A and B are shown apart, each in its own frame.
Chain A
Amino acid sequence: MSILETTDVRTGALVRIENVSKQYGSGNNTLLALDRVSLDVQRGEFVCLLGASGCGKSTLLSLVAGLDKITSGTLDIGGRHVALMFQEAALFPWLSVAGNIELPLRLQGVGRAERRQRALELLETVRLGGFGDKRPHELSGGMRQRVALARALAQNADVLLMDEPFGALDAMTRDILHDELERIWREQELTVLFVTHNVREAVRLGDRVILLSSRPGRVIEDFKIGHPRPRRIDSPEVSGQAAEITDRLRAEVARHAH
């Protein structure tokens, strides 16, 4: 543990991924999902993982979340807590909206009154004040994702992992949720690792965009996105950089034609 901690101090990284490979299956029937992927996420950074199908971006997120084991390499999150969001909100239907947000607090042993207070605050944070007593199914898809975000924030995690969280939403809702996520990320000083296949979304949100190749997943390039925030998805800077990254991505996809 102490060695890991000193390593942290040296690099300052919250998540350190070094030469991580992930292989599924055994014998002749193996699939190499990730091939020697290296990447660091600094505290307060917003990092987007971008790639076409089969690039192992969701696999990488599962590994960081501790839901799956790496085959080789080093994955170090220094014993930190992570929270995870998916494309579906995955709220529990037997709990109210507030109950869903309170659940992680309940598991941490936080008292009832404090839990309730914290859930109310988090509902305000995601602009859903007054919806605490609703059932998840009474909300729209975008609202449910905001509840899922509030639940993730309630976990008080050091790193927020997001696996295409806005993939199932319409463009209008997605745009507005980008603004919301950017605001909350700034206000709460979050560290985010965000998986997407949408290039504009990655450039709109990320401090860095990590482009992954497909089958197996390798890091092709690490783009620094320096445009001032708050950004707009339709601004010339975002569009320009997105076009550049899209070209790289298409070249990578075309490679699999043979």
Chain B
Amino acid sequence: MPTEVTEEQRNADQVSGLDALELGPQRKKGQLGRRIWSSTWPKLLAIVIVIGIWQLVYLSEWRPAYVFPPPADVLAELGELAITPKFWDGVQLTMTRAITGFAMAVAIGTLIGAAVSRFAPLRAAIGSLITGLQTMPSIMWFPLAILLFQLGEKAILFVVVIGAAPSVANGLISGIDYVPRTWLRVGQVMGMSGLAKYRHLILPASLPSFVSGLKQGWAFSWRSLMAGELLVIVPGTVSIGVRMQTARDLSDAVAVIAYIIVVLVIGILVDQLFNASDNALRKRWGLTGS
């Protein structure tokens, strides 16, 4: 029956024609170099502005040069640090602490978050406590940490973990809480229950919120770590915090500011990593505006 074939063909054409119209033409992405430049120049401009203001304040002689050094001196100090192996040992020690502490915080925070969202009584018991812990300034923990663990690595780790774990837990909890209802209904009709429901629906669905929890947790653990390195001087170590403290003791303003910049740069770089993964996720899910 030739007419039936054409009828079927016409239907198929209508469907795929409509699809093609609705999808519209693909936009070109533009060259890679141009895209990198367009996202970099505003940042460079911001740095130039900050250094410019700094230089102006220096020129106004608001404070003597040995307390408030000019940018050129600090940049020279940074340049010198960059070729000092001992400085990199310090960075390595600090980063090892940061990564260890953060990893522990992620493990503990994830466990607590999963437990709290799974068992209602647990949530009633410690749900608000977690949020309370999050607002607690990490420096408040150090006296207790030092009593518990003496002046050692463990004291620093303790504070880093307790500072970051609540954010990680809260990220997971709110991710699980806000899984859309229709997704849960779809899952239920598909026959998901128990572990399969977590594996195939709840955990992947809570991923964006979990990633923002991780990002926030990192920020808290980095702050706690810096406070810890200034307060808890572990004998024989030369972390960034120790070097900073030494510079202050020697009234070496150039070095103090140089270390502030080092800490800032590391913070920004790690934040960029989290942002990149967050953006990749949003793009995959189609949550971006464009």
B183 touches A92 (CB 8 A): yes
B12 touches A127 (CB 8 A): yes
Selected from B19, B185, B201, the residue in CB contact (under 8 A) with A67 is B185
Question: A83 to B185, alpha carbons, bound, how many Å?
Answer: 11
B14 touches A176 (CB 8 A): yes
A39 at the interface (CB under 8 A from B): no
Contact A142 to B18, CB < 8 A, known contacts A107-B196, A179-B11: yes
Question: A183 to B11, alpha carbons, bound, how many Å?
Answer: 10
B41 at the interface (CB under 8 A from A): no
Task: Determine how close the nearest CB of chain A comes to the CB of B2; give it in whole angstroms.
Answer: 18
B233 at the interface (CB under 8 A from A): no
B residues less than 8 Å from A172 (CB atoms): 18
**How many residues of A are counted as interface, with CB atoms below 8 angstroms from the partner's CB atoms?**
36
Question: A134 to B6, alpha carbons, bound, how many Å?
Answer: 29
A84 touches B185 (CB 8 A): yes
Question: A138 to B204, alpha carbons, bound, how many Å?
Answer: 19
A140 touches B182 (CB 8 A): no
A92 touches B286 (CB 8 A): no
Instruction: Specify which of B180, B190, B200, B205 lies most central, judged by the most chain A CB atoms within 10 Å of its CB.
Output: B190
Question: A46 to B211, alpha carbons, bound, how many Å?
Answer: 45
A84 touches B189 (CB 8 A): yes
Selected from A90, A108, A135, the residue in CB contact (under 8 A) with B183 is A90
Question: A141 to B188, alpha carbons, bound, how many Å?
Answer: 23
| In the complex, residue of chain B having the shortest beta-carbon distance to the beta carbon of A94 | B204
- Contact residues on B (Cβ < 8 Å of other chain), bracket: 20 to 34
B residues less than 8 Å from A250 (CB atoms): none
A residues less than 8 Å from B204 (CB atoms): 92, 94
A136 at the interface (CB under 8 A from B): yes
B140 at the interface (CB under 8 A from A): no
A67 touches B188 (CB 8 A): yes
Task: Determine how close the nearest CB of chain A comes to the CB of B178; give it in whole angstroms.
Answer: 14
B174-209 contacts to A (CB < 8 Å): 180, 182-183, 185-186, 188-192, 196, 200-201, 204-205, 207
Question: A99 to B286, alpha carbons, bound, how many Å?
Answer: 16
Contact A140 to B22, CB < 8 A, known contacts A92-B204, A107-B191: yes
A94 touches B284 (CB 8 A): yes
Question: A140 to B191, alpha carbons, bound, how many Å?
Answer: 27
Question: A30 to B259, alpha carbons, bound, how many Å?
Answer: 67
B141-157 contacts to A (CB < 8 Å): none
A137 touches B180 (CB 8 A): no
Contact A90 to B19, CB < 8 A, known contacts A107-B191, A107-B192, A176-B14: no
| In the complex, residue of chain A having the shortest beta-carbon distance to the beta carbon of B19 | A143
Q: Give me 10 other A-B pairs in contact (C-beta within 8 A), A86-B185, A107-B192, A141-B22 excluded.
A: A65-B185, A67-B189, A82-B189, A92-B183, A93-B287, A94-B204, A127-B15, A138-B23, A173-B18, A183-B11
Q: Please list the residues of chain A having a beta carbon within 8 angstroms of any beta carbon in chain B.
A: 65-67, 81-84, 86, 88, 90, 92-94, 103-104, 106-108, 127-128, 135-143, 155, 172-173, 176, 179-180, 183
Task: Give me the 6 closest cross-chain CB pairs, A-B, nearest first.
Answer: A137-B286, A140-B22, A93-B285, A90-B182, A94-B204, A84-B189
